[in-house]
Amino acid sequence: MTPALRQASLSEDREELISVLERHFPAFHMRPHFTWRHEGNPAGPGWSWVIYDRNTGAIGAMTSLFPRPMLVDGKRVLCGQVGEFAVDATYRSLGPAVMLQRATFRPVDDGELAFCYDCPPHDRGMSTFLRLGMQSNCELTRYALPLRSDQVLEKKLGNGAWTKPIVASANLLLKFKKRTHRETGIEIKKLNGQFDEEFSQLDQTVSSTGTIRSSRSAEFLNWRYRQRRDVDIEVLVACRGGEVLAFLACIIYPERRACVCDLFGRDLQDAGLVLLDATVDLCRQRNVFCLEGYCSNANQTKLLFESAGFRPRERAARVVAYGKTVEISGILNSGSAWTIGSAELNA
């Protein structure tokens, strides 16, 4: 086997790329997800690279870089997020992995992107960056709010008839532990249609000075939360006097687990807590076992999670960024600048 690197064609290599991803991510409905990721992105098509065998041409590893509009210290820039990093067992040495990682730097070096970043979830994922002499720029923590005890107690005690009263009592205690946050004048609505221009205006009014975060134009929000077909996404909007203050997007998975995938807006110290409260109500209606979310230490959402009764669990991911200019690199290396969460974590 003689491995080599090349840039992939999303049209000519499409079936082989999907085949590699299906081997490594069997839980995803990969074909519609691939189309959504690569062809629907309003920021434009991205890049994919593959490691292949020079002798047979067979693809054994790949990664992709997706363009993302970001705000860096108040400036709107185009960056890239690394995703779809998949390496077959026969290619699992640091050599091919480092080749793929270096390839993701090329659009930055060529001036097509301001910077790129990856979100390795574990120490093994950091190995290629350590080989390249790179460290993480910030970390994201998973926060969790248990809503039902069924799964945990049945795993420990079994699901016999005698455990049902225990489970019911525990669920009742969890329900009473719910903290309510009511702010007079704030109304919560379910967004059934598309994000409109008012959300683009909201994105522009929320300051990004000294921070790094995703841009949330209506076009991008519609792509991320309305055009995705592989998961159930609910969007709640907080309004005061008919004006949009904030929104929360929540993914509800079939295994009765839910995740706050975006919480953004103005007056979050009030609107954010009311949105979380309404999301808990929604999850209880769906018999969700646990509501979780992800955020960096600098993200205001951390304080909102803690006020709403969420508790920090494990480190979920590290962010490793690559920028070429001194100006960009300076703010990328400031851990306090990364006010990010699930919206920036999921490629």
Angle among Cα 83, 251, 136 to the nearest 5 degrees reads 35
Q: Which two tokens stand for residue 50?
A: 């593959």
pLDDT band at 255 (very low <50, low <70, confident <90, very high): confident
> 88 vs 15, 47, 52, CA distance in Å?
16, 20, 11
Instruction: Convert the pLDDT of each residue in 167-209 to its tens digit.
Output: 444 444 445 455 556 666 899 999 999 999 999 999 999 999 9
Cα(261)–Cα(315) distance, rounded to whole angstroms? 17
Cα(300)–Cα(318) distance, rounded to whole angstroms? 18
Residue finishing a domain among 135, 153, 187 = 135
CB 69 within 8 A of CB 220: yes
Domain containing 316: what range?
141-345
Q: Are residues 301 and 190 in the same domain?
A: yes
pLDDT of residue 229: 83
pLDDT of residue 162: 42
> 147 vs 138, 170, 261, 280, 313, CA distance in Å?
29, 10, 18, 8, 15
Is the dihedral angle over the CA atoms 213, 270, 272, 302 positive or is it negative? Answer: positive
Of 33, 31, 96, nearest to 59 by C-alpha is 96
pLDDT of residue 181: 61
If phi > 0 it is left, if psi is from -120 to 50 it is alpha, else beta; for residue 185 that is: left
Q: Are residues 77 and 191 in the same domain?
A: no
Q: Which two tokens stand for residue 113?
A: 């992107």
Q: Are residues 273 and 190 in the same domain?
A: yes
pLDDT of residue 152: 46
Question: Which residues lie below 8 Å from residue 15, measured CB to CB, with a gap of 6+?
Answer: none
Q: Are residues 56 and 177 in the same domain?
A: no
CB 67 within 8 A of CB 78: yes
Q: Are residues 249 and 295 in the same domain?
A: yes
Average pLDDT over the chain reads 90
CB 238 within 8 A of CB 275: yes
- pLDDT higher than threshold 80 for residue 123: yes
Q: Strand 59-72 and strand 47-53: pairing? A: antiparallel
Q: Are residues 26 and 60 in the same domain?
A: yes
pLDDT of residue 92: 86
Helices (H), the chain: 14-24, 30-39, 94-103, 106-109, 123-131, 150-157, 164-177, 197-205, 218-225, 268-285, 301-307, 326-332, 342-345
Cα(291)–Cα(17) distance, rounded to whole angstroms? 33
Q: Please give, one letter per residue, the 3-state secondary structure of 73-131.
A: CCEEEEEEEEEEEEECHHHCCHHHHHHHHHHCCHHHHCCCCCEEEECCCCHHHHHHHHH
Q: What percent of the chain has pLDDT over 70?
A: 89
Q: Are residues 118 and 145 in the same domain?
A: no
Return the higher-pLDDT residue of 177 and 36.
Answer: 36
Question: Which residues lie below 8 Å from residue 152, measured CB to CB, with a gap of 6+?
Answer: 146
3-state secondary structure of 34: helix
- pLDDT higher than threshold 70 for residue 311: yes
pLDDT of residue 180: 57
Question: What is the residue whose two structure tokens read 């999303």?
Answer: 10
Q: Are residues 76 and 200 in the same domain?
A: no
Neighbours of 155 (CB within 10 A): 9
Specify the number of domains making up the chain.
2
pLDDT of residue 290: 93
- Report the CATH number at residue 43: 3.40.630.30
Q: Are residues 206 and 119 in the same domain?
A: no
Q: Residue 59 pairs with which residues in a beta bridge? A: 52
Residue finishing a domain among 86, 114, 135 = 135
Question: Which residues lie below 8 Å from residue 139, measured CB to CB, with a gap of 6+?
Answer: 296, 297, 315, 317, 318, 319
pLDDT of residue 154: 47
For the ranges 156-170, 231-245, 298-312, 325-339, the lowest mean pLDDT is seen at 156-170
Q: Is 0.85 topped by the overall pTM?
A: yes
Q: Are residues 215 and 129 in the same domain?
A: no
Q: Are residues 316 and 218 in the same domain?
A: yes
> 154 vs 170, 285, 341, CA distance in Å?
12, 21, 32
Q: Are residues 261 and 278 in the same domain?
A: yes
Residue finishing a domain among 108, 135, 162 = 135
Instruction: Convert the pLDDT of each residue in 51-100 to its tens digit.
Output: 999 999 999 999 999 999 999 999 999 999 999 999 999 888 889 999 99
- pLDDT higher than threshold 70 for residue 248: yes
